[in-house]
Structures are given as structure tokens and as C-alpha cells.
Amino acid sequence: MKNQLFLLICCVAVLFTTFSCMVPQNDNTIQNNPPNVPSSPSPVDGATNLSRYNVILSWECSDPDFDPLTYEVYFGTDPTPTNLATITTQKSYSLGTLNLGTTYYWKIVAKDDKGAKTSGPVWRFTTTSCPLCP
């Protein structure tokens, strides 16, 4: 009887050891989330009669993982802006003197330092057609 009990305990120990080694191990891989969608544009989307001087584009954007971000600023008169105006770490971009009575389109693509990126919507504004207005 003692031998059978000893054999049973040994079998249970072997089974426990075997299956405990088969538990999946955590590979400690951290998922990277892409940046949030750029928002809160200034000038506001659809703004009209803006001065053609000293227009500053600005926006809000953050990363859910708190990764540092860079921003690609696309700007131009095409409704689907593909002209890369600058790449910056700031949440603003100062434009030079613009044309009178012209509609401009712009968008921001946010990128984190791990390669994830998020494209924002296309925003637009129109400058004043008044040549004497500041």
C-alpha cells in the first residue's frame, strides 16, 4: 500500500511539473497605440475674411502612450493638400503672407517615435479679398 501511495505521489508530482512548464510565458511586448486624431484647429474650419498676414495654424494632439510626437503640416490651395509645408514638434506653424480672397486647405499628420501615425481631417479657411485690410 505504501508503494502504491508513493507511486501515486510521484505521478502527481511529475504531471504537475510537466504542465506547469507549459504555461504560456508573457513576452513583455508592449503595444504601441497611434496618436490621437489632431483636433481643435485654429483658424477654425471654414473661417472666412482672415487677414492674409501672420496667419498661424495651430491644433491639439496627444498620444495615448505619452510618446513624443512630430507633426507633418500639409498646406495649400488644393482641397486634398499634399504639399508638405513643414515637419515640427510644435503644435503650431506660422504662414507667410497669403494671397487675397483665397481658400486654403490644411491637415496635420501626427507621428509618434515608434512609427505609428494618425492623419487628421482637412480644414480650410479663406483670406479676405480686401486689399487695404490688415
Cβ contacts of 127 within 8 Å, gap of 6 or more: 49, 50, 51, 52, 55, 98, 99, 100, 101, 102, 104
Examine the pLDDT at 11 and tell me if it is beyond 80.
no
Confidence of residue 1 (pLDDT cuts 50, 70, 90): low
> Per-residue pLDDT tens for 67-125?
999 999 999 999 999 999 999 999 999 999 999 999 999 999 999 999 999 999 999 99
pLDDT at position 4, please? 58
